[in-house]
A and B are shown apart, each in its own frame.
Chain A
Amino acid sequence: MRVGGIRVIEVRNLTKYYGPRVGIENISFEAKKGEILGLLGPNGAGKTTAMRILTCFMPPTSGEARIAGFDVLGDSLEVRKRIGYLPENVPLYHDLTVRAYLEFVARLKRMPRSNRPARIRQVMEECGVHDVRDRTIGKLSKGYRQRVGLSQALLNDPDVLILDEPTIGLDPRQIVEIRNLIRSLAGERTVILSTHILPEASLLCQRVIIMNNGKLVTADTPENLKNRLQRSMVVDLTVRGALETVREALGALADVKSVALLDSPDANTHIMRVESHDNRDIREALSRAVVERGLGLLRLSSIDLSLEEIFVRLVMQEELE
């Protein structure tokens, strides 16, 4: 182990093949104590594979992964004692009550009998499931199940929390709640979470690893990633007026790189996408241009780049370089 366990997660040249198919290839990264690390990538990028190796659910084909200095293959038991894992589909036993389930998990996680009840209560309160502790898990909403899933991961007070798509399938309010919960859980712990939503990664994570097709594309802080990628600003507008006039009004501005028609809900209303040069903020200029021509500005919003767009850009960038 490194001094003071500074590097809680160490992954070196990790590779996993499913037969001839590549799961992940040559992935290396590290995570420091207290860090929230995001694995970002589209479906099939290898995020879940990487997590399953870290949690000792499956062994790697080659390479090594260490948690708190323990190898996932050689010291699997020691690793499993130190992690809390929440798989993507939150697999829980639906016939048990929340409390019975957590008691079961507490036994499996080798918690001493004496502090089990107190710890279970504490975790239930932390995760906001104390009020539903006597309800059957199968009858809980998706949001509550997610919280129960988090509770079981937290029971053993793990050094490393591994969360696979923790907000997928939740409604917007639940997403905010779970994000806040994850942020509050970090502190001393190292959290590694996967997501395919860029804003989520930038909200939660101090560092983001972008994966695609089983390979590590890049790793950086969310701010740096955005700055590197978002060289142009993208604005969507909904404008009322003749299409030609709208195109002309928007295209005439100095900083505008491109104008595209996304959709026309009716003959006189158009949704346009405008990109600016060099990340310049053109929102004011746009609204002024529209209004000056006597057109109606119904909506204007700047667009965060979606992960897919980032990918396209990253891959194109790589090919150019």
Chain B
Amino acid sequence: MSRTIAICRRELAYFYNSITAYVVMAVFVFLAGYFFYNLLAFFNLALSQSSSNPLAAGQLSLTESVLQPLFANLSVVLLLIAPMLTMRLLSEERRLGTAELLFTYPISDWDAILGKFLATVIVLAAMLALTLVLPLLLGTFTAPEWGPIATGYAGLLLLGMAYISMGIFFSSLSENQIVAGVLSFGFSLLVLIIGWLMPFVSAGQARVLSEISMLEHFDSFSRGIVNTNDIVYYLNFSVFFLFLCSRVLESNRWRNG
């Protein structure tokens, strides 16, 4: 455990010392602000246009028109950003040769994998926390539904963890960061929208696809619903890819030249 934390701290130090994390966070927060502004402005417009019609105005909901789309947009931005955080994690250790020292210390592969995973999740959480300013801002002049906000953030965090675990796995496959990054981006996107195939396959297959699809599992979170099923899905997803990653490290050891 203390080895896991040591590796986590080292990775956090890297994020802290290098410009990467700052740029990634800044871009994410900027985009979040941009989405938020647009969604809110559009919501205001709709509200003022329907002011003469109380029935229509009553149907406009802040949660549905601003927060849900915001979370949906951020889930896609995370997709782009997570690979940038994860792509160097293991590939760079291999390319620079530091893996040779790391894995001859008395640590297990899991110490390394979990330490790196944890560090990236902390960066992700910090990044998400910075965007909390948006709903808080909303809270200063209206009363948003805090429930869906909380579950939306929980969903983003879980989704991000799934992306990160996938990114770490792909980072273990190649010495080349770009290859690792592109693979994890492509694969994450595929898993996110695999549900698009649903109309074209049998009912049984559609059910399987909807269970695999990240988007399907994310939807309920942004609507304020917490399904154990969805939580288990994301956690399983993360564990599965971290496990694959540990297999890759083990097999690298046997093949390695």
What residues of chain A have their CB less than 8 Å away from a CB belonging to chain B? 18-19, 23, 52, 55-59, 77, 80-81, 83, 85, 87, 89, 91-93, 95-96, 100, 104-105, 107-110, 152
Q: A59-B254, A107-B6, A108-B7 are in contact. Are A95 and B18 (CB under 8 A)?
A: yes
Q: Tell me the complex Cα distance, A95–B17, Å.
A: 7
Residues of B within 8 A of A152 (CB): 101
Select from chain B the residue with minimum beta-carbon distance to A18: B257
- A108/B100 in contact, CB under 8 A: no
Q: What 0/1 pattern do residues 97 to 136 of B give for CB contact below 8 A with A?
A: 1111111111100010000000000000000000000000
Contact A108 B256 (CB under 8 A): no
Chain A positions within 8 Å of B97 at CB level: 87, 89, 91
Q: Inside 8 A of A23's CB, which chain B residues have their CB? A: 257
Chain A residues with Cβ below 8 Å from B10 are 93, 96, 104
Chain B: residues with Cβ within 8 Å of the partner, total of 28
A80 and B6 contacting across the interface, CB-CB below 8 Å: no
User: Could you give 16 example pairs across A and B, Cβ below 8 Å?
Assistant: A57-B253, A58-B254, A59-B253, A85-B101, A85-B104, A87-B101, A89-B97, A91-B96, A91-B97, A92-B98, A96-B13, A104-B6, A104-B9, A107-B6, A108-B111, A109-B105
Write the chain B residue with the least CB distance to A55. B104
B1-17 interface (Cβ within 8 A of A): 2-3, 5-7, 9-10, 13-14, 17
Q: A105 vs B3: C-alpha distance in the bound complex, in angstroms?
A: 10
Contact with A along B1-40 (1 / 0, CB 8 A): 0110111011001100110000000000000000000000
CB within 8 Å for A107 and B106 given contacts A57-B100, A87-B101, A95-B18: no
By beta carbon, the residue of chain B nearest A58 is: B256
Taken together as a complex, chains A and B put the C-alpha atoms of A85 and B9 apart, in Å, by 23
Residue on B nearest A49 in the bound complex, by CB: B257
- Residue in A57, A77, A85 whose Cβ sees the most chain B Cβ within 10 Å: A57
Closest approach, in angstroms, between the C-beta of B205 and any C-beta of chain A? 40
Query: Least Cβ distance of A149 to chain B in Å?
Result: 9
Residues of A close to B2: CB separation below 8 A: 107, 110
Tell whether A77 pairs with B13 under 8 Å between CB atoms, given A85-B101, A91-B98: no
Q: Which residues of B lie under 8 Å from residue A93 when comparing CB positions?
A: 10, 14, 98
Using A80-B104, A91-B97 as known contacts, list a sample of 4 further A-B pairs with CB atoms less than 8 Å apart, ordered by residue number in A: A57-B256, A59-B254, A95-B14, A104-B6
**Whole-angstrom distance between the alpha carbons of A62 and B24 in the complex?**
47
| B3 near A107: Cβ-Cβ < 8 Å | yes
- Cα distance, A100 to B13, chains bound together (Å): 9
Q: How far is the CA of A130 from the CA of B218 in the complex (A)?
A: 52
| Of listed B7, B99, B105, residue having the most chain A CB within 10 A | B105
The reply to whether B106 and A80 form a contact with Cβ atoms under 8 Å apart is yes
- Tell me the complex Cα distance, A57–B106, Å: 11
Question: Residue on A with the closest CB to B103?
Answer: A57
7 closest Cβ pairs, A-B complex = A107-B6, A91-B97, A91-B98, A108-B105, A80-B106, A55-B104, A18-B257
- Give the residues in chain B near A57, CB-CB below 8 Å: 100, 103-104, 253, 256
- Is the Cβ of A87 less than 8 Å from the Cβ of B100? yes
Return chain B residues, CB-CB under 8 Å to A52: 100
| Nearest CB on A from B101, distance (A) | 6
* Most interface-central of B2, B14, B106 (chain A CB within 10 A): B106
What's the Cα separation between A302 and B156 when bound, in Å? 74
Contacts of B100 in A (CB 8 A): 52, 57, 85, 87, 91
Give A160 to B245 CA distance when docked, in angstroms.
31
Instruction: List chain A residues, Cβ under 8 A from B99.
Output: 91
In the assembled complex, the Cα of A305 lies from the Cα of B2 at a distance in Å of: 51
A85 vs B102: C-alpha distance when bound (angstroms): 10
Task: Evaluate contact between B254 and A109: CB separation under 8 angstroms.
Answer: no
Question: How many angstroms between the C-alpha atoms of A57 and B253 in the bound complex?
Answer: 7
A69 and B99 CA atoms in complex are apart in Å by 26
Instruction: Tell me which of A19, A87, A107 has the highest count of chain B C-beta atoms within 10 A of its own C-beta.
Output: A107
Task: For residue B5, give the distance in angstroms from its CB to the closest CB of chain A.
Answer: 8
- Quick check: A56 and B3 within 8 Å, CB to CB? no
Docked-complex contact B18 and A109, CB < 8 angstroms = no
**Would B104 and A110 count as touching, CB distance under 8 A?**
no
Whether the Cβ atoms of B106 and A91 lie closer than 8 Å is no
Residues from chain B with a CB closer than 8 A to the CB of A107 are: 2-3, 5-6
How many angstroms between the C-alpha atoms of A92 and B92 in the bound complex? 12
Q: CB distance B13 to A95 under 8 Å?
A: yes
Question: CA–CA, A209 to B27, complex, Å?
Answer: 57
Indicate whether A81 sits within 8 Å of B106 (C-beta atoms), given known contacts A95-B13, A95-B18, A107-B3.
yes
- In chain B, what residue has the closest Cβ to A54? B104
Would you give the shortest CB distance from A288 to chain B, in whole angstroms? 54
**Interface residues as binary, B216-257 with A (CB distance below 8 Å gives 1, 0 otherwise):** 000000000000000000000000000000000000011011
Closest to A103 in B: B6
Within 8 Å by CB of B106, from A87, A92, A110, lies A110
- Nearest-neighbor residue (CB-CB) of B17 within chain A: A95
